[in-house]
Amino acid sequence: MLTEVRILGRGGQGAVTASQIIAIAAFYDGLQSQAFPMFGVERAGSPVRAYVRLSDKEIKDRTEICFPDYSIVLDPTLLQSLNVCEGVKKSVIVNCTRCISLKKETYYVDATSKAMEIIGKPFVNVAMVGAFAKVTGIITLKSINKAIDDLFGLKGKPEVIQKNKDAVKAVYDAVKK
């Protein structure tokens, strides 16, 4: 079972961090994983892509992902400028306030509001990992929490780390189709 994921965001929104959390969580759930960004001339506010591969077998492919199983959209304004469905085999998971109609199976959640309510800032990257977990069932909340501890434990404040875990759970519970 090879699962490939594309994460779309804007520079500074944490698409790369979200990819790392998914990969680390998958490792804790017994899978092989890769997380890698697509770098170019990115700067704050410009579109950014990050990718994740997950498998129950060794992953030897190191190329860009052109046909992901899932596409995660951190910033809903990207729907106007990018084809977020391009090459997607299964589903698109979008941070937005309302149901939208795309050419693929679409899940949505207002991760921005959840992050503002829980974290106090519109940081949706970590929270959207909860949406991915709910939609796919590939990674667990327990493994996501461990990944958050791993990634932020040494440099983060315990209360901020807990707020991110709470945001993951809130988004996990709020995803709609």
pTM of the entire predicted model: 0.95
Residue 143 near residue 25, CB atoms below 8 Å: yes
CATH superfamily label, 2-174: Pyruvate-ferredoxin oxidoreductase, PFOR, domain III (3.40.920.10)
Domain locations in the chain?
Answer: 2-174
Phi/psi of residue 24, each to 5°? Answer: -65, -45
| Chain segment 160-177, per-residue pLDDT in tens | 999 999 999 999 999 999
Mean pLDDT of 72-92: 96
Residue 131 near residue 1, CB atoms below 8 Å: no
pLDDT of residue 40: 60
Percent with pLDDT over 70 in the chain: 97
pLDDT of residue 156: 77
Q: Where are the beta strands (DSSP E) in 80-148?
A: 91-95, 105-109
| Chain segment 14-50, per-residue pLDDT in tens | 999 999 999 999 999 999 999 999 866 556 778 899 9
Mean pLDDT of 129-144: 98
